[in-house]
Amino acid sequence: MPDTQDNAAQIAYWNDRAAVTWTTFQERLDALFEPLTALALDAAAPAPGEQIIDVGCGCGATVLALADRVGANGQVLGLDISEPMAARARQRITAAGLTNARVTVSDAAVHAFRRENADLLFSRFGVMFFADPVAAFVNLRRALHQDGRLLCAAWRPLADNPWFTVPLDAAQAMLPPQPPADPNAPGPFALANPDRTLGILADAGWHDVILTRHDVPMRFAAAGQIEQATEFATRVGALARMLADVDPTMHARVRQAVADALNAYDSPAGISLSGSIWLISARA
């Protein structure tokens, strides 16, 4: 088992700056992810009465959706390392009057699953942040009974995700060069390489691992709302991290560059760029 401190940097990140942005922009992120969430839920096929664990459940959108699908005889447990995001998820569970869902703050990589006997391990972008992914996926398999299944969504490579790279490239053109990022480091693209991901899951003992590509529209804002789209693009994720310490003059210049880049994607359907995900399915 990995030392829980292995994920200390992620625990700090998801309880600090990332928690602020993900709770502030929760509704817009959920709207942005709506098309791919529908695909992931359909592929996961949660059935009435099932026991489900939602790994890295964040502010709880998929906990609510899964709880709705499993009904009163089912149970959904959301796990997350972020106290503020878990708190938001709990508020939403209470507001929805759900009695079949709960959220626990815990590192899923080392969480002591007491042979939960779950049917399904689900995740929307919550399984790419493990310091030791093989050990984490070994641990996650313990949550399931022997016929249990995994369905998680993870980003495919950067090159197929212009919703991510278009604002980032526009910003990077204005900023000093950054050292190249380690493509396998914990982060949104850690499972993007299919060979590596298949290897991680095989090494962790999962069976029948299948990665299916899905390309989805990522709608930043309604038509003409460039300011809103730019705010969103610069305040969430990698760009927010990159801009955290730049001075106000440079910040304004970067925002303008991002706005100009997004302008090219404004259409009557909204300001929308393409995203590409893996739906990763496997059996315990």
Ligand X SMILES: C[S@@+](CC[C@H](N)C(=O)[O-])C[C@H]1O[C@@H](n2cnc3c(N)ncnc32)[C@H](O)[C@@H]1O
Does 137 bind ligand X (CB under 6 A)? Our answer is no
Does 150 bind ligand X (CB under 6 A)? Our answer is no
Does 116 bind ligand X (CB under 6 A)? Our answer is no
Task: Using only the alpha carbons of the chain, give its radius of gyration.
Answer: 19
Nearer to ligand X, 121 or 221 (CB): 121
Does 148 bind ligand X (CB under 6 A)? Our answer is no
Closest residue by Cα to residue 284 from 121, 66, 109, 154:
121
Does 109 bind ligand X (CB under 6 A)? Our answer is yes
Nearer to ligand X, 57 or 221 (CB): 57
Does 275 bind ligand X (CB under 6 A)? Our answer is no
Phi and psi angles of residue 78, each rounded to the nearest 5 degrees, phi first: -95, 135
What is the Cα–Cα distance from 153 to 34, expressed in whole angstroms? Answer: 13
181 near 194, Cβ under 8 Å? Answer: no
Range in contact with ligand X (rule: CB under 6 A) among 45-53, 78-86, 156-164, 222-230: 78-86
Does 129 bind ligand X (CB under 6 A)? Our answer is yes
The nearest distance, CB 15 to ligand X, in angstroms, is: 8
Q: Residues for the chain: how many in total?
A: 284
Nearer to ligand X, 15 or 251 (CB): 15
The nearest distance, CB 26 to ligand X, in angstroms, is: 8
CA angle 200, 3, 12 (to 5 degrees): 95
Question: What is the distance in angstroms between the CA of the first residue and the CA of the last residue of the chain?
Answer: 18
Q: Residue 183 CA to chain centroid, in angstroms?
A: 17
Q: Where along the sequence are the contacts to ligand X (CB under 6 A)?
A: 7, 10, 14, 29, 33, 56-59, 61, 79-82, 85, 107-109, 124-126, 129-130
